[in-house]
Each structure stands twice: as structure tokens, then as C-alpha cells.
Amino acid sequence: MSKRNTSLTCILCPMSCMLELTMEDERVIQVSGNNCKLGPAYAEKEMINPTRILTTTVEIEGARISRLPVKTQEEIPKSMILACMREISRIKVKAPIRSGEVVLENVAGTGVNVVATRDLH
């Protein structure tokens, strides 16, 4: 078993805590530097399967602006971001639409839905 230390900036909130990690093989065994209890869980996920919320826009017809802001309802694996962007860029929606409404189900096979983040009439 080999132990090593590494560091990581937590991106969960604007505090941007600098987390100090102790790794044993590929496992996180200790985290310090976090100012809240979310830090250790973030560190673990970031080292093993980094995920992100993806936010972008889709074309909307019949509204007073031409783009509807959307996001993935949950985090998706970081490695799937570009595949998701490709699929999202192909959709077009019609007004009216409510914030939270699903505009695309199971984006790129991630099991995650894409939802509107704004009401547009």
C-alpha cells in the first residue's frame, strides 16, 4: 500500500476551499482544509468519478428571446459533457415553457434529464 498526498480546490461554493488529501492506492483516506462537511464527499467523488452540472441554452420559438437556458437536473460524469452538448444542441423548444420543465430526457444515455431554468412565455 502506498500513501500519497495531493490537493484539490473544492468548487461546490465560492469559498473555494483548498482541500488536502491523503490517498492510499486509489482511495481517499483523509481530507483536511474543508470549511464544511461537503468537502470530504466532494474530494472523494472528484478523485474517483468527477461529475458536473452542465448548463447551456437551447433554441426557443415564440418567446421574446431566442435562447432558453437549461441545465442537467443532476450532475453528469465530466467525461460525458461534450456528448451531452452535442445532443442538447439539436433540440428546439416552443414557448411557453416553465422553469424546471424537462426539455430532453436521459441525455446521452446518462440517465439524467435536461430541464429549463427560466420561465419563458
Partner 1 sequence: MKPADVAVIGGGPGGMAAAIAAKRAGAKRVLILERDSDLGGILPQCIHDGFGTFIMRERLTGPEYADHYKYLVADSGVECLLNTTVLEIDEDRTILAVNPDEGMLTVKSQAVILAMGCRERTRFQLLIPGTRPAGVFTAGAVQRLVNIEGYLPGKRAVILGSGDIGLIMARRLKLEGVEVEGVYEILPQPSGLTRNVVQCLHDYDIPLYLEHTITMIHGKKRVEGVTVSRVDAGRKPIPGSQRFVSCDTVVLSVGLIPENELSEKIGIMMDPVTGGPLVDEWMETSNAGIFACGNVLNVYDLVDYVTYTGETAGQGAARYIKGQLPERHPVRVNAGPGIRLVVPQQVTPARVVDPFSLYLRVEEARSNVRIAVKSGDMIIARRRERAVKPPEMIRLIISPERLKEAAEGEGLLVELVDEGGAAR
- Footprint on this chain of partner 1 (rule: CB under 8 A): 9-16, 18, 33, 52-53, 55-57, 59, 64-67, 69, 71, 78, 81-82, 85, 99, 117-119
- How far apart are CB 4 and partner 1 at their closest, in Å? 20
Q: Which is nearer to partner 1, 1 or 37 (CB)?
A: 37
Q: Which is nearer to partner 1, 28 or 97 (CB)?
A: 97
- How far apart are CB 71 and partner 1 at their closest, in Å? 6
Q: How far apart are CA 111 and CA 72, in angstroms?
A: 10
Peptide bond into 69 cis (omega under 30): no
What secondary structure does DSSP assign to 40-97, as a single string? HHHHHHHHHS-EE--EEEEEEESSSSSEEEEEESS-EEGGGHHHHHHHHTT-EEES-B
Q: Which is nearer to partner 1, 28 or 60 (CB)?
A: 60
- How far apart are CB 2 and partner 1 at their closest, in Å? 25
Q: How far apart are CA 50 and CA 84, in angstroms?
A: 15
